[in-house]
Amino acid sequence: MNVAVLIIDSLLLLGILCVSIYGASALPPGARVPIHFGPSLFNNWVPKNVALVMWPIGGIAAYVISIAVARNQQAQGGGSSAATVVPTVLLAVILVTHVVALRISLSRGGQAP
């Protein structure tokens, strides 16, 4: 099991959780947060409680996949593969997208366009 990858994934997941906690305290009641569901930019706005739970759920799913991949590689005798990097990249993308969505919501005062 590659400990470095699991530490990085843990830190990324912690970052996602911290952004959600910050968003819960910084956004006004009734605020809406953009989420991405397509090739265009943020095109769907949901209540802050829903969005601030969706991002960590996605992060936890990617983290579980990362652990499963690491254990599978350990069972097969180790070795490096692209499958180890994919969950880490996914967690990084989730974190960056979460931060950008929160910044957009904060800049609009929590109001959808």
Q: What is the pLDDT of residues 9-38, one digit of tens each?
A: 899 999 999 999 999 999 998 898 888 765
What confidence score (pLDDT) does residue 81 get? Answer: 67
Farthest CA pair distance, the chain:
52
pLDDT reading at 6 higher than 90: no
Asked if 58 and 65 count as a contact pair (C-beta separation under 8 A), the reply is: no
Identify which of 111, 107, 102 has the alpha carbon closest to the alpha carbon of residue 23: 102
| Residue 31 domain-assigned (yes or no) | yes
- Residue 97 CB coordination number (10 Å): 17
Query: Rounded mean pLDDT of 28-51?
Result: 80
Q: DSSP E strands: which ranges in 37-104? A: 44-47
> Which pTM value belongs to this model?
0.83
80: in domain: yes
112 within domain boundaries: no
Q: Domain of residue 57: give its range.
A: 3-107
